[in-house]
Amino acid sequence: MSAKTYKIAVMGGDGTGPEVVAEGLKVLKAASKKFGFSYTETAFDFGGARYLRTGKTIDDKEIDELKKFDAIFLGAIGHPDVKPGILEQGILLKTRFGLDQYINLRPVKLYDSRFCPLKDKKPEDIDFVVVRENSEGLYKGMGEFQNKGKKDEVAIQISYNTRKGVERCLRYAFEFTRKRNRRKKLTLCGKTNVLTYAWDLWQRTFDELKKEYTDIETDYAHVDATTMWFVKNPEWFDVIVTDNMFGDIITDLGAMIQGGMGIAAGGNINPDGVSMFEPIGGSAPKYTGKHVINPLAAICAAGMMMETLGESKAAKAIENSVIKVASTKMKSLAAGKMGYSTEEVGDLVAENL
């Protein structure tokens, strides 16, 4: 048993974010009693409501404040009354970049065949992890307009890839594949046939690093083909490493084949700093306050948080409880169709730990 008290920053955020975070915290509390760890919760109100009230997203001082925590538990950022981009850039991306959370770790795991939209796929067929680069690429926001608003306008959006950024992401992926120890296969997902600068750097760095990891089988797939294999042969994958934009796109498809946004969780990881864990489904404003949103993604995110903090037993127990509740009790993983309310699903997972 550990004697450490973890300091957890809680950012419920917008829409259904606070509701699912509450269930994640409920399960965390039950896990802490069972596995003997302790933690403090500190709430922050970053999000659309605060922005509409004060015009503030998140400032540098607040980012520095977050650096004092052991982990951040995030619900969702996104508000129907705020112009798209402001909160995403001003809160979510600013936190990822500000805390140098350079990995976005997104497990894709099917817990029960009933939840998979693909024919004849079983849990053992869909069990892979996407390691998404989380600090560079098209997300860097580099580019410009030329002749804005004119007939001959040009909009340039640059994919920015540094050797350092690519290498630290690839190294993380190799180490992760080794530690995961499932099939020990790492697939680089890119577009070497068209994006000949960025993916040349990725491919060269990958080829160099793989000489250090001779125990890992390596593979390459173009991003378009990757989406095809997700549907046709998801069992081919163990760990996939890719850039920020491709990772964003393929993990939405990944979420669908594992049962939807109600179950998909992710971690924004800084291996040497503060990491942030979130359900990847967004704020789902139309379900806000209706007690119908699925909290399992947030509960799984809390599990990933405990794994990263070193509470592996608690993390495993949370995952096993989620599997049990999802496969033996729930009718569906979709909002409003679970057969239980948001709070009841949280209770069930807590009771089955």
Q: What does 92 bind: Mn ion, ligand IPM, none (CB cut-off 5 to 8 Å by kind)?
A: ligand IPM
88 binds, among ligand IPM, Mn ion, none (CB under 5 to 8 A by kind): ligand IPM
- Contact call for residue 248 and Mn ion (CB under 5 A): yes
Which DSSP helix (H) or strand (E) runs through 52? helix 48-54
**Given the complex with Mn ion, which of 253 and 334 has the nearer CB atom?**
253
Contact 318, 299 (CB under 8 A): yes
Q: Give the integer Cα–Cα distance in Å for 200 and 132.
A: 17
Burial of 256-290, coded b for 16+ CB within 10 Å and e otherwise, reads bbbbbbbbbbbbbbbeeebbbbbbbbbbbbebbee
Is the Cβ of residue 90 or residue 349 nearer to ligand IPM in the bound state? 90
Q: Which residue is nearest to Mn ion (CB)?
A: 248
Torsion angle, alpha carbons of 301, 173, 238, 31, to 10: -30
Task: Give the CA distances from residue 344 to residues 145, 229, 254, 338, 341, in Å, rounded to whole numbers and listed in that order.
Answer: 50, 36, 26, 10, 5
β-pair partners for 70: none
Residues contacting Mn ion: total by CB under 5 A: 1
The partner in contact with residue 238, picked from ligand IPM, Mn ion, none with C-beta cut-offs of 5 to 8 angstroms by kind, is none
Pick the binder of ligand IPM from 198, 216, 221, 280 (CB under 6 A). 280
Cβ pair 70, 6 in contact under 8 A: yes
Which is it for the CA torsion 14, 250, 185, 125, positive or negative? positive
Nearer to ligand IPM, 18 or 78 (CB): 78
Nearer to ligand IPM, 14 or 307 (CB): 14
Residue 232: CB minimum distance to Mn ion, A: 22
Site map (CB under 6 A) of ligand IPM, residues 49-78, x = contact = ------------------------------
- Report the residue from 62, 65, 88, 100 that binds ligand IPM according to the rule CB under 6 A: 88
State the distance between the two ends of the chain, measured CA to CA, in whole angstroms: 17
User: Which range binds Mn ion by CB under 5 A, 36-44, 92-100, 200-208, 244-252?
Assistant: 244-252
If one asks whether residue 92 binds ligand IPM (CB under 6 A), the answer comes out as yes
Residue 75 CB, shortest distance to ligand IPM, in Å, is 13
Strands 275-279 and 154-160: unpaired
Neighbours of 315 (CB within 10 A): 21
Helix (H, G, I), strand (E, B) or coil at 101: coil
Binding-residue total with ligand IPM (CB under 6 A): 5
Site string for ligand IPM, 239-258 (x = CB under 6 A): ---------x----------
Q: Which amino acid is at 37?
A: F
| C-beta of 258 vs 321, nearer to ligand IPM | 258
Q: Which residues bind Mn ion (CB under 5 A)?
A: 248
Q: Which residues bind ligand IPM (CB under 6 A)?
A: 88, 92-93, 248, 280
